[in-house]
A and B are shown apart, each in its own frame.
Chain A
Amino acid sequence: MSLLRLVDLSTDIALRRGAVHALDHVNLEVRQGETLGVVGESGSGKTMTVLSVMGLLPPGGRVVGGQILFDGRDLLAMKPEELRRVRGVEMGMVFQDPLTSLNPTMRIGAQVAEPLRVHQGVGKAEARERAIEILRRVGMPRPEKIVDDYPHQLSGGMRQRVVIAMALIRSPRLLIADEPTTALDVTTQRQILELIDDLREEFKMAVILVTHDLGVIASRADRVAVMYAGRVVETATTEELFRAPRHRYTEALMHALPESAQGKLYSIPGLPPDLSRPLTGCRFAPRCRHATDACRTTDVQLVQAAEEHLYACLHPVTEPVAFAPRGAGEPREAAGSGTILSVRELVKEYDAGGKGRVSAVAGVSFEVKAGETLGIVGESGCGKSTVGRLVAGLEEPTGGQIVLDGTDIAGLDRRARRRMHREVQLMFQDSYAAMNPRMRIDGILTEPLEIQRVGDQAARRARVTRLLDQVGLPARALERYPHEFSGGQLQRIGLARSLALEPRLIVADEPVSALDVSIQAQVLNLMRDLQSELGLSYVFISHDLSVVDYMADRIAVMYLGKLVEIGPASQVVRAARHPYTQALIDAVPSPDPGHAPSPATAIRGELPSALNPPTGCRFRTRCPLAQEICATEPPLQGGPHQVACHFPLRPEAAVSAGAAPAGAG
């Protein structure tokens, strides 16, 4: 029986430049006790759909047509007080960014119990008891203490638990989770998703899980709705959707995932349409490789493929989409042999104002060969970005050596350091923030050339035009300002800028983390093309193992300032030797619905503080295999595939890398 039904729901957002038709006749259904996954890229309308249901549309947003039937009653026809009660008591919502979704100056307990106090008139003491009880239920350690804490005293994962507790304290019948784990690390993501799953059964709720991540959907949802440009383009049971998607957009999304890369990643060209303009025909047509004239002119309606399967496509997919076992793409040819970067015993500590020192990077050593990509993975706080900044010369190491092309840059004076910047460039996650918003693109791109006094004006001009061409942007982009570009285009510009001085090494810090899957594929492919064209080396830093797996020749795994494992990419991902690496791998939700992570590798608890980190093996406070000996520090040892663990999960594989079984079991 359906709990929530959206009938022809249309929502507009009034902006200064006109109305954006964010939702266009959306029809959806959520049944009691099930999880409906809503997937799509930014601008697809997935978030607007749930915000319309919750009445939380941004300023200017308004439902302009259709019905929202909750338990058979139309929310849009209710009186305000009644509506508030229904939304406040029978529905609960979990938001994307746990760091900002709590009131910073209100105690946790008061925030969690507020719905009870307001809607059920529960007294203060009882509200506090109930808050403690629900906090305990969502896995909060020491809830009696935490009720009286303030949000900033908790980590991101803990705050998300608080938000969930807040939604659950009313025992809602519908829980809406909008990208609940996007801002969290994978191991925390796994804990939170498992929690939501458990609670759904316990509270017999229905769940709407909104996400951009097909992997999250595959492992958690019963049914899926795929949205594109304000419309639902396909709905099916999860199993059916991943086995036999029909819509060409769904197919393209799946092909754009690094996990499904067979050799080169499929990238969807172009950008989603502007929803403030009138649109005719299939909205995906300009980006679809199967589009015909009929697609561009007919208003394509949803049709039924099977009982539970609807799609809106004129030339549907007929062959099933195969998910390759993770990253089984052909091993990339060995890179050149010359070492360009060699990092030895790198140490970086920060002063923590009289409380001791924060050990951000603790004795990290690795090498990068010419033309090679070294991936560095790890969760937030592991020190991977610090390593990147040290290598790029933005910070000075506390100890150790960074040997670039034979010279140790740690000991350079400013002049020499500036020259060194020609050789190493940094590419950021948020290129926009790293650009002067009042400067045109030509200015942004010529700036490094001017600083290093390269060529005359004409030569610089020519160089900049060529750079833009290399990153696939038209020359007229030169006269525009950064804010006129989309996220993917900005990353291209950021890449162009880091290429301006013809460096030999680019340190890319989370370069695609803020991008949608289809755009991410474009940027990743571009980076790989440029690498083979220009013989670049990359240090590719990311929290996303599948992206690193796609990009890197070798992978280094960091945990709390230490390098715990390093080796050829295929071996690290398919035959991990360190328990932490294995936990990371298993925490990544796989887009293959048949893949179930084993509970044995789940790591519990929170990342310890880098201020006074654990002695010995830094992972031992969370490691399922920890023994007494782990109190002494394990050295990094092995051949090409090194691990720092007293009890490696497996011996080093024979040199013939390749078809090792996926995962540990």
Chain B
Amino acid sequence: MARYLLTRLGQALVIVVLVTLITFVILHFLPGGAARAILGKEATLEQIAAFNHEMGYDRPLWEQYALYLQRLVHGDLGYSFQLNQSVAEAISQRLPKTMLLSLASTALAVVVAIPLGVVQAVRRNKWPDYTINALSLLAYATPIFFMGLMMIILFSQVWPVLPPEAPQGFTLGEVLADPAGLVLPTVTLAVLTVAVYSRYVRSSMVDNLNENYVRTARSKGLSEGRVIVGHTLRNGLFPVITLLGMYLPALFSGALVVERLFNYPGMGLLFWQSALKRDYPILLGVTLLISVATVLGALVADILYAAVDPRVRLKASRS
């Protein structure tokens, strides 16, 4: 197991380095170079030269990259002149709120999607399967922005039970103090996830229900419920764990739209605003963070998978 962890960790590290290389290259090839991107369009040539010298941008590329890495390691993601704040600080203020939104919506999605997928698999090609399938396709095809709008119209205007805007707190505590405001953003973000997950659970369960071991279980005279819950479900859910890790980027792009729509002060909104203002340090910082988070997510999912599936666990521990 330790060996397996080490190799997986090594792989993750390589990918992270690659990601930093890519962001570095992007930063380098921005129109007018990093200086213009950071100082803004109005900066004079002298200012740029001074900035370049100060940041080491007049040195050889590999040296610049080394410097860049060195700064990253120290948590220095750069400085946003537009926000007048370091990128790390800007992100760390908003990250917990986005995590709250993502976690809540993912948890909600998983809790809803698993039973849906299981019902679909068990009643395959019957009306429950068709109905859920149609609904999830609909959810899948609806732009998340439109979905959010519909939610606002339905639940805060037609039937005004929930506020149309997310809580506007600065800290996590302030946000949590207004749970009603969190409902619509969470649900909106969860809808798409439910659609994706339930389809995944369905196909995984269908595969498992066709396995020979299920027939063996039935031959013991077990009830259908016991066959499904006791035998198939566990095996059917393993792939979902991997999906959890890989789904992170999609989740963030969803959060981007949802935070904008509900004016939720998280990373998505920050990213959105920075994109409008061409605040490159923030954009790259966030991108880097999301990429690293994705790599870590996949890593955690794999480790989790290895921990629960005896086939992987034992193979890994033997090698």
Contacts and interface: CB of A to CB of B under 8 A. Distances in A.
A-B interaction? yes
Interface stretch (A100-108, A341-349, A591-599, A617-625): A100-108
B311 A104 contact: yes
Given A100-B211, A150-B310, A95 B220 contact: no
B312 to A, nearest CB: 10
Interface residues of B, number: 23
Interface stretch (A65-73, A81-89, A185-193, A407-415): A81-89
B219 A103 contact: no
Given A100-B211, A354-B319, A163 B221 contact: no
Interface string A110-123: 00001100110000
Contacts of A166: 216, 220
A89 B219 CA distance: 10
Interface in B260-312: 309-311
A101 B220 contact: no
B28 interface: no
Contacts of B230: 114
Contact of B235 (A88, A105, A150, A163): A105
Contacts of A54: 219
Given A95-B212, A97-B212, A87 B314 contact: no
A419 interface: no
A102 B314 contact: no
A397 to B, nearest CB: 26
A104 B314 CA distance: 12
Interface string A313-355: 0000000000000000000000000000000000000000111
Given A103-B231, A105-B234, A150-B311, A118 B213 contact: no
B311 A89 contact: no
Nearest to A54: B219
Contact of A103 (B217, B221, B226, B238): B217
A102 B310 contact: no
A134 B218 CA distance: 20
A114 B223 CA distance: 12
A101 B231 CA distance: 12
B13 to A, nearest CB: 21
Contacts of B234: 105-106
B221 A93 contact: no
A102 B219 CA distance: 12
A627 interface: no
A152 interface: yes
B53 interface: no
Nearest to B215: A56
B222 interface: yes
A163 B216 contact: yes
Given A56-B218, A114-B222, A102 B311 contact: no
A152 B314 contact: yes
A115 B211 CA distance: 19
Contacts of B310: 104-105, 150, 152
Contacts of B309: 105
A269 B235 CA distance: 45
B213 A102 contact: yes
B319 A104 contact: no
A100 B220 contact: no
Contact of B222 (A88, A105, A150): A88
A56 B215 CA distance: 7
Interface in A152-175: 152-153, 163, 166-167, 170
B116 to A, nearest CB: 21
Nearest to B310: A150
A115 B216 contact: no
B220 A118 contact: yes
A84 B223 contact: yes
Contacts of A92: 219
A163 B309 CA distance: 21
Contacts of A100: 211-213
A384 to B, nearest CB: 26
A87 B227 CA distance: 15
A153 B226 contact: no
Nearest to B214: A103
A221 B319 CA distance: 45
Contacts of B216: 93, 95, 101-103, 163, 166
Given A104-B311, A105-B234, A105-B235, A87 B219 contact: yes
Contacts of B217: 103, 114
A355 B3 CA distance: 13
B221 A118 contact: yes
Contacts of A106: 231, 234
B220 A105 contact: no
Given A152-B314, A153-B314, A103 B213 contact: yes
A100 B208 CA distance: 11
Contacts of A163: 216
Nearest to B222: A118
Given A103-B235, A105-B235, A115 B213 contact: no
A76 B234 CA distance: 32
A389 to B, nearest CB: 25
B220 A115 contact: yes
Interface in B210-254: 211-213, 215-223, 226, 230-231, 234-235, 238
Nearest to A115: B220
B213 A89 contact: no
A119 B221 contact: yes
Contacts of B238: 105
Contacts of A150: 310-311, 314
Nearest to A119: B221
Contacts of A355: 319
Nearest to A89: B221
Contacts of B235: 103-105
Nearest to B319: A353
A102 B311 CA distance: 13
A95 B219 CA distance: 10
A311 B163 CA distance: 81
A84 B314 contact: no
A547 to B, nearest CB: 27
Contacts of A114: 217, 220, 222, 230
A95 B221 CA distance: 15
A512 to B, nearest CB: 24
A93 B217 CA distance: 10
Nearest to B231: A103
| Most-contacted residue by chain B among A89, A97, A115 (CB, 10 A) | A115
Given A150-B314, A354-B319, A101 B213 contact: yes
Contacts of B218: 55-56
A87 B222 CA distance: 9
Contacts of B213: 100-104
Interface in A245-267: none
Interface string B110-135: 00000000000000000000000000
A86 B217 CA distance: 15
A60 to B, nearest CB: 10
A17 B284 CA distance: 57
A105 B221 contact: no
A106 B311 CA distance: 10
A56 B219 contact: yes
A354 to B, nearest CB: 7
Given A100-B213, A101-B215, A87 B221 contact: yes
Interface string B188-227: 0000000000000000000000011101111111110010
Interface of A: 54-56, 84-89, 92-93, 95, 97, 100-106, 114-115, 118-119, 150, 152-153, 163, 166-167, 170, 353-355
17 contacts: A56-B219, A85-B221, A88-B220, A89-B221, A93-B219, A95-B215, A100-B213, A104-B213, A104-B235, A104-B311, A105-B310, A114-B230, A118-B222, A150-B311, A152-B314, A166-B216, A355-B319
Given A106-B231, A114-B220, A152-B310, 4 more contacts: A86-B221, A88-B220, A100-B213, A354-B319
The 9 closest A-B pairs by CB, nearest first: A88-B221, A100-B212, A84-B221, A150-B310, A103-B213, A93-B219, A115-B220, A101-B212, A101-B216
